[in-house]
Amino acid sequence: MDQPAASVIKQHLIDPEICIRCNTCESTCPVGAITHDSRNYVVDPDKCKACMACIPPCPTGSIDNWRTMPRARAYSVVEQLGWDALPPELSARQLTEAGEAAAAAAVRQSETSSQPAVAPGAETFSSAAFSAVVPPWSAAHPFTSLYGPKAAEASVTATVAGNVRVTEAGKDYDTHHIVLDFGTMPFPVLEGQSIGIIPPGTDDSGRPHHPRQYSLASPRNGERPGYNNVSLTVKRVLEDHQGSPVRGLASNYLCDLEVGDKVQVVGPFGTTFLMPNHPKSHIVMICTGTGSAPMRAMTEWRRRLRHSGKFEGGKLLLFFGARSKEELPYFGPLQSLPKDFIDINLAFSRIPGAPRRYVQDLIRTRAADVAPLLADPNAYFYVCGLKAMEEGVLLALRDVAEGAGLNWDAVAKALKRDGRLHLETY
Amino acid sequence: MSAIDYGEKIPNNVNLSEDRTLQRALEQWQPRYLDWWDDMGPDGSRDLDVYLRTAVSVDPSGWAQFGYVKMPEYRWGIFLNPAEKDRKIHFGEHKGEDAWQDVPGEYRANLRRIIVTQGDTEPASVEQQRHLGRTAPSLYDLRNLFQVNVEEGRHLWAMVYLLHKYFGRDGREEGEALLERRSGQQDNPRILQAFNEETPDWLSFFMFTYFTDRDGKFQLCALAESSFDPLARTTRFMLTEEAHHMFVGESGVSRVIQRTCQVMRELKTDDPALLRAAGVIDLPTIQRYLNFHFSVTIDLFGADESSNAAIFYNTGLKGRFEEGKRDDDHQLKGVGYKVLQPRGNRLVEAEVPMLNALNEVLRDDYIRDSIAGVERWNKVIEKAGIAFRLRAPHKAFHRNIGSLAGVKVSPEGQVVSEGEWAAKVDQWLPSASDRVFVASLMGRVAEPGKFANWIAPPAMGINRQPVDFRYVRFN
């Protein structure tokens, strides 16, 4: 179900990192939608008519920023006044959830700074055109927002039950597998769902930090089967998307946790990026870096089902990209999975002396196996990782479809309508 | 809003053609202006095609038209913001009366003086910056310099229009004199001292556009409150252009800092000697430039106690910054304000009538605004993970006007002896060797998308063009 058009707006925002606070926009605005405090200039979403009067006079270009947002969740003036950087565009999945679950209101997914400005005039690629807004028909029913600002409890306390590094030591790249235990507090989850972590303390303006969202890496019956715990895959953020150094607040907090520490959690979130549960359903997983978390969760659930001998699973096809194998989370455990259980394709983009390989290259190489799955109503596609991979992956899927004589437009429409293609990027 | 007649020599939205005497006077002034531009405008720029913004009307769609222009052919025009119907005077002793559409005889001399002083700064800064084009760190920066220059030229037009239109023969003579004074010239200097200082290098230029053009913003804001409606409308429109100049300064300094921090991280050092050897400007040097430009600029606001300022306010000629947004009686009767005064070897606050302290009020507003930008520069340093903070110096540091003139004060605000000042001045203000070093980095970079080693590229281009756009074409 698409959101009704009126419930989603293109929200006008000012980039606080580029704005010089010259007041030109505020004095130009014919409807008084722009206001400021000693820190930021901001646009009131309830007043802005998108008349564009403020765009040409802005000397910096910081005025020309837009985010697709559910109207009910538009960034308020107060929220904007607290920003040091623009928030990233919500992913298609977040957008859907944000519209559905008001509790996600406080959740922002990425902790890094704003995205680079979109090139002028360039037609911007939108994953929202492709990503399903419904789960597979055989998905289990998820619980969402049991803890959060709109729930009875604002957060739930979890205890750290484990924290291990899952990439090779000694590299700059540092990824941790963190296990959180909820004790006796209800926290039912499904693979593909995420939770929010509230870093302790307050931001520069004295407000509590907003929660940071992480995908679960563990299946529904616990990181350890039968226990009320979940696991997360957390990469220590030491630079932003542009490569500028910045210490990610939440990721460094999480990576430095010790067993026994207490963590405040909100969630769970997510109603669409869920796995199919019917026999012989196939799963195609495409991911980079910590985007592997939900893939690990789904794979592990299928592995446990297979181990029980009571479930006839379909194919699992994994395309997994990282800079090198040392930086690939869970590299060791992946190697020990039986070949007839999961078909693993690894792409490394930074191996000295070897050409750069990306997941989309692997998808093209495996076109003969991917094409039948695109056409198979029992095959479900999941993409998770950096935003930059989205477009390349979709182009590769299109090429594979067209190479096999399929009509891509029809395939893409069916994938979206039937809840068979899910994109989750950041 | 009146449309602009391009058939006319001088683009305008003030129905110039209906006032033949005025039009002829301005048409005579125009060739004199162009001669001045040839003599004193950007050096060696005559035949360059520059991607400039030209105002063709004051509404949002019209005032930012971009295209390649040869600068002598730039269409300097006269633009006033649309009139506000039934505008009332909102401060001073005439509060509540209709705003003046003409100059009241009794305020003629003072208004002329205000307009001439403002007008004089515009060509002065063009003169100060005329050699910078030779050493621009990129085409993007070269274009920004020229944009600043042509708009300062237009601001001169705006003031000369008021002089010609409302001040008769006196006004025409003042218009001539504005073209005759020269920045830094001994026998006929510009009126305000900061506009006789050199702008010798691009770090100075960025600091100047950040700090000194911001003084321009505050002066224009105060004049935009004026009871003399044509002055208020003219300065309102000038403010839109002034914003670009401050952007050039703020982003310019920010990019210098960004580049320095990048090299500091690469070399893992904060040793100025190593950083200078690597061809970037060390942060302590940037701090000294900041100290210099901040202190020279705050002098521009005038003496901390000034009966002129009181008269200008009381008679409704010049308001406070954001006068309309303040909620007091707008007459300041019996209101006090604290100013700093030296007492022996310390500084004390003394309460004086606010009316007499209006220069100080504007200066304090300016300081608040300036410091906010310095904090944004600190964010760049912070983001690079470097423990260094830039600071605006104390208000009493290096002052040459008002009661703080002559007293030696450290950037932290401690009164110091002449001896201590002499011993430390090179830590506080750019030394001769600092200036020689910064000058040694200057050299023109003219390949699109390339930037000099000491400055980072901007976050985005002008008018949504890419950063590697050919902003200036050499013919």
| C-alpha–C-alpha distance, residues A213 and A193, integer Å | 10
**If DSSP codes are grouped into helix, strand and coil, which group holds residue B67?**
strand
Q: Averaged over B12-34, what is the pLDDT?
A: 87
User: Taking CB atoms and an 8 Å limit, are B385 and A245 in contact across chains?
Assistant: yes
Asked whether residue B62 carries a pLDDT value surpassing 80, the answer given is: no
**Alpha-helical regions (H) of B386-448:** 418-428, 432-441
pLDDT, tens digit, 9 for 90 and up, residues A345-397: 999 888 887 888 889 999 999 999 999 999 999 999 999 988 778 888 999 99
Say what the ipTM of the complex is: 0.71
- Closest residue to A18, CB basis, from B236, B246, B459: B459
Q: Mean pLDDT over all residues of chain B?
A: 92
Specify if B6 maps to a domain: no
Are the C-beta atoms of B415 and B342 separated by less than 8 Å? yes
Smallest Cα distance from B186 to chain A, Å: 35
Residues of chain A with Cβ-Cβ distance to B383 below 8 Å are: 244-246
- Helix, strand, coil abundance in chain B, percent, nearest 5: 55, 10, 40
Confidence of residue A170 (pLDDT cuts 50, 70, 90): low
> What pLDDT does A6 receive?
46
Angle at A126 between CA A124 and CA A130, to 5 degrees: 150
Domain boundary among A269, A288, A310: A269
CA distances from A420 to A26, A109, B41 (A): 46, 23, 65
CA dist., res. B93 & res. B355, Å (int): 12
Tell me the mean pLDDT in the region A47-71: 85
What local confidence, expressed as pLDDT, does residue B298 receive?
95
- Identify whether A16 is preceded by a cis peptide bond (ω within 30 of 0): no
Contacts of A27 in chain B (CB under 8 A): 236, 239-240
B226 domain residue, yes or no = yes
Domain that holds residue B356: 80-132+142-443
The set of residues, in sequence order, having a beta carbon less than 8 Å from that of B198 and lying 6+ positions away, is: B128, B184, B204
Q: Which residues of A touch B462 (CB under 8 A)?
A: 61
pLDDT of residue A171: 62
Q: Which residues of B touch A (CB under 8 A)?
A: 60-61, 63-64, 217, 236, 239-240, 242-244, 246-247, 250-251, 265, 368-369, 372-373, 376, 379, 383-385, 459-462, 464-466
Residue B236: inside a domain: yes
Say what the pLDDT of residue A59 is.
79
More confident residue, A108 or B430: B430
Out of A23, A55, A117, whose CB is closest to B460?
A: A117
Strand (E) or helix (H) holding B119 = helix B108-128
Residues of A with CB under 8 A from a CB of B: 17-18, 20-24, 27-28, 38-39, 52-61, 64, 84, 117, 119-121, 244-247
Q: Which of A209-218, B322-331, B387-396 has the highest mean pLDDT?
A: B387-396
Mean pLDDT lowest among A177-181, A321-325, B184-188: A321-325
Residue-level pLDDT at A249: 86
Nearest CA-CA partner of B236 in B342, B379, B84, B406: B84
Question: Is residue A358, in this structure, part of any structural domain at all?
Answer: no
Nearest by CB to B383, from A60, A117, A246: name it: A246
Q: How many domains in chain B?
A: 1
Structural domain containing residue A217: 156-269
Contact criterion met (CB < 8 Å) for B464 and A121: yes
Give the total number of structural domains in chain A: 2
Look at residue B30 and tell me if it is in a domain.
Answer: no
Q: For B147, name the nearest residue in chain A, comparing CA atoms only.
A: A59
User: Is the per-residue pLDDT at B159 higher than 60?
Assistant: yes
In a domain, B264, yes or no: yes
Enter the DSSP assignment of A366.
T
| Residues B182/B193, Cβ–Cβ less than 8 Å | no
Q: Is residue A247 part of a domain?
A: yes
Min CA distance, B64 vs chain A (Å)? Answer: 6
**Mean pLDDT throughout B278-290?**
97
Could you tell me if A171 and A261 lie in one domain?
yes
**Angstrom distance (rounded) from CA A186 to CA A152:** 13
- Residue B65's SS3 state is strand
Mean pLDDT in residue range B57-79: 84
Q: At residue B5, does pLDDT exceed 60?
A: no
Distance from the B313 Cα atom to the nearest Cα atom in chain A, whole angstroms: 23
Query: Is residue A116's pLDDT more than 60?
Result: no
Q: DSSP code of A125?
A: P
| Nearest residue of chain B to residue A246 (CA atoms) | B383
What's the pLDDT at A242? 65
What pLDDT is stored for residue A127 in this prediction?
67
Nearest to B246 among A22, A117, A121 (CB): A22
Residues of chain B positioned with their CB less than 8 A from the CB of A117: 459-460
Give the residues across from A263 on adjacent strands: A158
Cα distance between residue A292 and residue A286, in whole Å: 8
In a domain, B473, yes or no: no
DSSP symbol at A147: B
Phi, psi of B184 (to 5 degrees): 80, -5
pLDDT at site B8: 63
Query: A139 pLDDT exceeds 80?
Result: yes
Q: How many residues does chain B have?
A: 475
Residues of chain B positioned with their CB less than 8 A from the CB of A84: 379
CA distance B248 to chain A (A): 9
Q: Residue B460: its chain A contacts at CB < 8 A?
A: 18, 61, 117
Q: How confident is the model at residue B463 (pLDDT cuts 50, 70, 90)?
A: confident
Chain A nearest-CA residue for B380 = A17
Cβ of B251 within 8 Å of Cβ of A60? The answer is yes
- Our CA-based measurement puts residue B426 at a distance from the nearest CA of chain A, in whole angstroms, of 31
Two structure tokens written together for A68? 């697709």
In which band, very low, low, confident or very high, does the pLDDT at A210 lie, cut at 50, 70 and 90? Answer: confident
Q: What is the 8-class DSSP label of residue B395? A: T
Q: Per-residue pLDDT averaged across A326-344, rounded? A: 82
Block residue for tokens 């129905």: B15
Mutation site for A-interface testing, chosen from B369, B460, B462 by largest number of A Cβ within 10 Å: B460
Beta strands (DSSP E) in B186-265 are none
The pLDDT of residue A406 is above 70: yes
CATH classification of the domain holding A1: 3.30.70.20
pLDDT digits (tens, 9 = 90+) for B340-386: 999 888 899 999 999 999 999 999 999 999 999 999 999 999 999 99
Residues of B in contact with A35 (CB under 8 A): none
Q: How far is B300 from chain A (nearest CA, A)?
A: 20
* Cβ-contact B102, B171 below 8 angstroms: no
Tokens 């011993």 locate to: B423
SS3 assignment, position A10: strand
- The domain spanning residue B417 has which CATH number? 1.10.620.20
Q: Look at residue A106 and tell me whether its pLDDT is greater than 70.
A: no
CA distance A80 to chain B (A): 16
In this structure, is residue B90 part of a structural domain? Answer: yes
Considering only CB atoms, which chain B residues are within 8 Å of A58?
243
The whole-angstrom distance between B462's CA and the closest CA on chain A is: 8
Helices and strands, number each (H, E), in chain A: 10, 15
- Do residues B251 and B458 lie in contact, with contact meaning Cβ atoms separated by under 8 Å? yes
Task: Judge: A64–B464 Cβ closer than 8 Å, yes or no.
Answer: yes
The count of other CB atoms within 10 Å of the CB of residue B380 is 21
A112 pLDDT above the threshold of 90: no
For residue B365, list chain A residues with Cβ-Cβ distance below 8 A: none
Predicted local confidence at residue B340, as pLDDT: 93
Average pLDDT over chain A reads: 84
Alpha-carbon distance A62 to nearest alpha carbon in chain B (angstroms): 9
Mutate which of A52, A60, A205 to test chain B, going by most B C-beta atoms within 10 A?
Answer: A60
Inter-chain touch A22–B373, beta carbons under 8 Å: no
Report yes or no on B326 lying in a domain: yes
In a domain, A70, yes or no: yes
Domain end marker among A35, A59, A87? A87
Share of chain A above pLDDT 90, in %: 44
* Torsions phi, psi for A161 (to 5 deg): -105, -10
How far off is chain B from A202, nearest CA to CA, in Å? 18
Is B384 in Cβ contact with A244 (below 8 Å)?
yes
Strand spans (E) along A84-225: 156-165, 175-181, 194-198, 212-215
Which carries the bigger pLDDT value, residue A167 or residue A303?
A: A303
B463 → chain A, closest CA residue: A61
Give me the residue from B60, B373, B379 closest to A56, CB to CB: B60
pLDDT at A74 over 90: no
pLDDT at A56 over 80: no
Q: Tell me the whole-structure pTM to 2 decimals.
A: 0.63
Per-residue pLDDT at A123: 47
Q: What is the pLDDT of residue A53?
A: 83
A130 burial level (CB within 10 Å; 0-12, 13-18, 19+):
buried
A165 and A255 belong to one structural domain:
yes
Q: Which of B220, B174, B198 is nearest to B125 (CA)?
A: B198
Which candidate, B292, B299, B416, B393, places its Cα nearest to that of B347?
Answer: B416
What's the burial of B372, exposed, middle or buried (CB within 10 Å: 0-12/13-18/19+)? Answer: middle
Cα four-point dihedral sign B181, B184, B187, B190:
positive
Neighboring chain A residues of B461 at a CB cutoff of 8 Å: 61, 120
**Residue B235 and residue B159: Cα distance in Å, rounded?**
9
